[in-house]
Amino acid sequence: MKPQPISQINVGNTTRCNMACDYCYNEQPRKTQRGSETRTKLVPDQMLKSISDVLKQLSSSETCKVVLIGGEPLLDWTAIQQVITQSKTTFPDRAIHFTIYTNGTLLSLQRLRFLRSSGVQIVVSCDGPPEINDLKRHFGSGRESSRTLFPKLALLNSNYPSRLTRVTCVLHASSPRMASIHEFLCTLGFVNIHVQPEYSANGILPLDAEQIAELHEWYLAKLSKGLVLNATSVTDNLKIIDANRHGKEKRLPCDSGLGMVGLGPDGHYYPCHHYFGEDSERLNNVELGLPSSEVRQSLFSETDARPVCASCSVKNFCGGECYHRADTALGSKFGAEETFCNNMKLLQEMTAQLYIRLELEHSWAIERILRNDFSLHSSDCSMSCI
Whether residue 54 is contained in a domain is answered as: yes
Whether residue 3 is contained in a domain is answered as: no
Per-residue pLDDT tens digits for 252-311: 999 999 999 999 999 999 999 999 999 999 999 999 999 999 999 999 999 999 999 999
Helix 209-224 / helix 232-245 crossing angle, nearest 10 deg: 90
- 189-201 as b/e, with b when 16 or more CB fall inside 10 Å? bbbbbbbebbbbe
Whether residue 2 is contained in a domain is answered as: no
Terminal Cα distance for the chain, rounded = 46
Whether residue 1 is contained in a domain is answered as: no
The span from the CA of 29 to the CA of 31, in Å, is 5
The amino acid that residue 189 corresponds to is G
CATH of the domain at 373: 3.20.20.70
Integer angstrom CA distances of residue 381 from 67, 85, 115, 121: 28, 28, 19, 18
Contact criterion met (CB below 8 Å) for 362 and 348: no
pLDDT of residue 384: 46
Question: What stretches in the chain show pLDDT beneath 50?
Answer: 382-386
* Other beta carbons less than 10 A from residue 262's beta carbon: 23
Contact criterion met (CB below 8 Å) for 17 and 24: yes
Per-residue pLDDT tens digits for 108-133: 999 999 999 999 999 999 999 999 99
Whether residue 303 is contained in a domain is answered as: yes
pTM of the model: 0.95
385: CB partners within 8 A, 6+ apart: none
pLDDT of residue 257: 96
- In the chain, the number of structural domains is 1
Q: Which domain holds residue 183?
A: 8-382
